[in-house]
Amino acid sequence: MTIRGVRGAITVDTDQRELVLAATRELFQAILQANSGLRPIDVASVFLTVTDDIFSVHPALAARQMGWDQVPMLCAREIPVVNSLPLCIRVLLHWNTDRPQGEIRHVYLRRAVTLRPDLVQANEPIETGERFP
């Protein structure tokens, strides 16, 4: 079986614990919806990062609250690049799947769509007729 990376990102308006947790849950739910068949049991690990302006809570807590408690997770800070997108939570899931790389759907929500507009456009309807956010 191959391991594939699934990327995603979302922003919050302010660094408040409940907003960060809610945004992280929204991101994980959108990734699950966009990648049918993805189950926590098939995820090797998750790497989450936040920008320097988010420090109220580890976003991994939201995933654990969703039942991802057996998945190894790590939270870290993004490097502080000048003019980078503020108040941003990013995720990289390592998914054990036979799905080809071209069928992996990456999810960018809210202001994070500016990070990878090429991947957001790539998530338009695919040949199967399914529509991914």
For residue 90, indicate whether it is catalytic. yes
Domain contains 36 = yes
- Sheet-wide strand order for 73-77: 73-77, 43-50, 88-97, 2-11, 107-108
Mean pLDDT score of the chain, rounded to an integer?
90
In a domain, 21, yes or no: yes
Say if residues 120 and 90 touch (Cβ distance below 8 Å). no
In which element (H, E) is residue 130 found? none
Q: Which of 68, 49, 61 minimizes the C-alpha distance to 9? A: 49
For residue 132, being part of any structural domain is answered with: no
**Active-site residue, from 64, 77, 130, 131:** 64
Q: Tell me how far CA of residue 80 lies from CA of 19, 46, 50, 51, 114, in angstroms.
A: 22, 21, 10, 7, 17
Tell me whether residue 97 is in a domain. yes
- Rounded CA separation 12/122 (Å): 24
Catalytic site residue from 75, 88, 99, 131:
75
How many residues comprise the chain? Answer: 133
Catalytic residue among 4, 88, 105, 108: 108
Is residue 7 flagged as an active site residue? Answer: yes
Which of 25, 26, 78, 99 is flagged as catalytic? 78
Query: Which residue in the list 25, 99, 111, 116 is annotated as catalytic?
Result: 116
Quickly state the pLDDT bin for 122 (edges 50, 70, 90).
low
17 in catalytic set: no
The answer to the question of residue 80 being in a domain is yes
Residues of the domain holding 69: 2-122
Q: Would 55 be classed as within a structural domain?
A: yes
Can you give the CATH number for the domain in which 111 is found?
3.30.1330.40
Domain count, the chain: 1
Predicted TM-score of the model (pTM): 0.88
Q: Annotated catalytic, 64? A: yes
Residue 130 lies in a domain: no
- In this prediction, residue 118 carries a pLDDT of 79
- Residue 111: pLDDT above 90? yes
Residue 79 lies in a domain: yes
